């Protein structure tokens, strides 16, 4: 383990310069690997933490999470550092807490830690804890707890990176945008407090409908966006149907059930962040103008002749 003060300061700086929860965890893993000379490090999500994958790990560290390793379970239950028995595949597990609740576990698999190393790992986990709160607050909508528009660009860029690197091909990535039909009428009839309650209920329904790998955003007002990861078109349709059905359970006798209009576009190699949002918005407006309480796929509207593809001059660059 390097003890050079400059190296440690650079490691801390690397962690605190991150502005995304996923990149923050990646930076923590890389810092521990470089500082302590290990190569099997993971950050495991064990609590109800939105917008964080189930596990992030170093390359080559494959870990089955069902059930959780005994040292991780003990770490969650006791809320303290757990040194594993030599017969287990894990060596040390450290709790990462928010509001005094263990929400993640930092797991190092190939280390026989001495007291100085445990102190170092505690320090790194505390730095991560503190800065994760800052990052999460800056990227989270204060009313609904969904991601905000500030977090959108980085998530969308990650999807385009996956497509261009051919790690997965479209149409497994989708952008889904929707809003509440006649939301102004809800606010005008029942007041803004009830309108906020509708937004809160809808955000809970979104978390039930969509998976942890699907990034969910509130853009403001009643405008929502979901980036769907690794879904077929049929799966997207099932999710939209479920979302509409669940939204209808938000009911008031003066306004009836809540309904949504949804626009969907697939992410393709020829797209960019501006064009894919434009396609989803056009599909959303089509859904609104043709009955509401429905969804529309942009590519189907083009294929069926319900919409003309946009004309873009060759000398205009969207990047």
Taking only the tens place, the pLDDT of each residue in 129-178 is 887 777 777 788 989 989 998 889 878 887 888 777 765 555 678 999 99
Cα distances (angstroms) measured from residue 174 to each of 206, 266, 277, 279, 307: 16, 4, 10, 11, 19
My answer on whether 130 and 170 are in the same domain is: no
The last residue of a domain, from among 105, 139, 173: 139
Q: Is residue 243 part of a domain?
A: yes
Q: Is residue 133 part of a domain?
A: yes
pLDDT at residue 137 in the model = 76
- Name the domain count of the chain: 2
pLDDT at residue 35 in the model = 81
pLDDT band at 213 (very low <50, low <70, confident <90, very high): confident
Residue ranges making up the domain that contains 279: 149-303
My answer on whether 246 and 110 are in the same domain is: no
Q: Is residue 24 part of a domain?
A: yes
My answer on whether 191 and 278 are in the same domain is: yes
Q: What is the mean pLDDT of residues 281-300?
A: 97
Residue 212 above 70 pLDDT?
yes
My answer on whether 103 and 218 are in the same domain is: no
**Half-sphere exposure for 8 (CA within 13 Å, toward CB):** 12
Residue 40 above 70 pLDDT?
yes
My answer on whether 123 and 190 are in the same domain is: no
My answer on whether 61 and 84 are in the same domain is: yes
My answer on whether 191 and 275 are in the same domain is: yes
Residue 317 above 50 pLDDT?
no
Residue pair 101/107 in contact by the 8 Å Cβ criterion: no
pLDDT at residue 257 in the model = 97
Q: Is residue 81 part of a domain?
A: yes
My answer on whether 168 and 205 are in the same domain is: yes
Cα distances (angstroms) measured from residue 121 to each of 31, 95, 103, 111: 10, 10, 17, 11
| CATH at 287 | 3.30.70.270
Distance between CA atoms of 76 and 74, rounded to whole angstroms?
A: 5
Model confidence pLDDT, tens digit, residues 107-119: 888 777 788 888 9
My answer on whether 259 and 121 are in the same domain is: no
| CATH at 39 | 3.30.450.40
Distance between CA atoms of 89 and 70, rounded to whole angstroms?
A: 10
My answer on whether 19 and 132 are in the same domain is: yes
My answer on whether 62 and 205 are in the same domain is: no
Q: Is residue 83 part of a domain?
A: yes
The last residue of a domain, from among 109, 139, 169: 139
Distance between CA atoms of 22 and 148, rounded to whole angstroms?
A: 15
Q: Which helix (H) or strand (E) holds 307?
A: none
What sign does the CA torsion over 228, 233, 238, 244 have? positive
Residue 10 above 70 pLDDT?
no
CB atoms within 10 A of CB 317: 7
Q: Is residue 318 part of a domain?
A: no
pLDDT at residue 1 in the model = 46
Q: Which of 34, 36, 42 is nearest to 111 (CA)?
A: 36
My answer on whether 202 and 251 are in the same domain is: yes
Residue pair 214/229 in contact by the 8 Å Cβ criterion: yes
Q: Which of 170, 151, 241, 169 is nearest to 205 (CA)?
A: 241
Residue pair 109/41 in contact by the 8 Å Cβ criterion: yes
Q: Is residue 314 part of a domain?
A: no
Please give the model's pTM, rounded to 2 decimal places. 0.69
The last residue of a domain, from among 139, 174, 206: 139
pLDDT band at 5 (very low <50, low <70, confident <90, very high): low
CB atoms within 10 A of CB 259: 16
Model confidence pLDDT, tens digit, residues 267-279: 988 888 889 999 9
Q: Is residue 316 part of a domain?
A: no
């Amino acid at each position: 383990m390097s003890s050079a003060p400059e190296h440690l300061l650079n490691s801390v700086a690397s962690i605190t310069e991150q502005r995304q929860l996923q990149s923050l965890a990646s930076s923590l893993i890389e810092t521990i690997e470089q500082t302590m000379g290990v190569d099997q490090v993971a950050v495991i999500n064990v609590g109800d933490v939105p917008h964080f994958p189930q596990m992030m790990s170093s390359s080559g560290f494959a870990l089955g999470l069902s059930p959780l390793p005994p040292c991780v379970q003990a770490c969650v239950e006791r809320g303290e550092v757990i040194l594993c028995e030599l017969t287990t595949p894990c060596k040390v597990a450290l709790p990462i807490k928010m509001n005094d609740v263990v929400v993640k576990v930092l797991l190092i698999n190939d280390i026989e830690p001495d007291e100085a190393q445990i102190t170092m790992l505690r320090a790194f986990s505390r730095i991560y804890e503190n800065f994760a709160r800052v990052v999460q607050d800056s990227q989270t909508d204060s009313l609904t707890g969904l991601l905000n528009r500030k977090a959108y660009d980085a998530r969308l860029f990650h999807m385009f990176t996956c497509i261009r690197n051919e790690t997965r091909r479209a149409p497994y990535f989708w952008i889904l945008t929707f809003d509440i039909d006649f939301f102004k009428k809800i606010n005008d009839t029942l007041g803004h407090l009830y309108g906020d309650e509708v937004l809160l209920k809808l955000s809970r329904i979104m978390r039930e409908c969509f998976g942890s790998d699907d990034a969910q955003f509130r853009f403001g007002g009643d405008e929502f966006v979901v980036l769907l990861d690794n879904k077929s078109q049929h799966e997207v349709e099932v999710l939209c149907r479920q979302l509409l059905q669940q939204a209808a359970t938000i009911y008031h006798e003066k306004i009836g059930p809540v309904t949504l209009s949804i626009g969907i576009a697939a992410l393709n190699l020829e797209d960019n962040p501006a064009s894919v949002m434009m396609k989803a918005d056009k599909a959303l407006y089509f859904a609104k103008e043709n009955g509401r309480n429905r969804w529309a796929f942009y590519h189907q509207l083009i294929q069926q002749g319900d919409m003309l593809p946009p004309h873009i001059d060759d000398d205009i660059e969207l990047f």
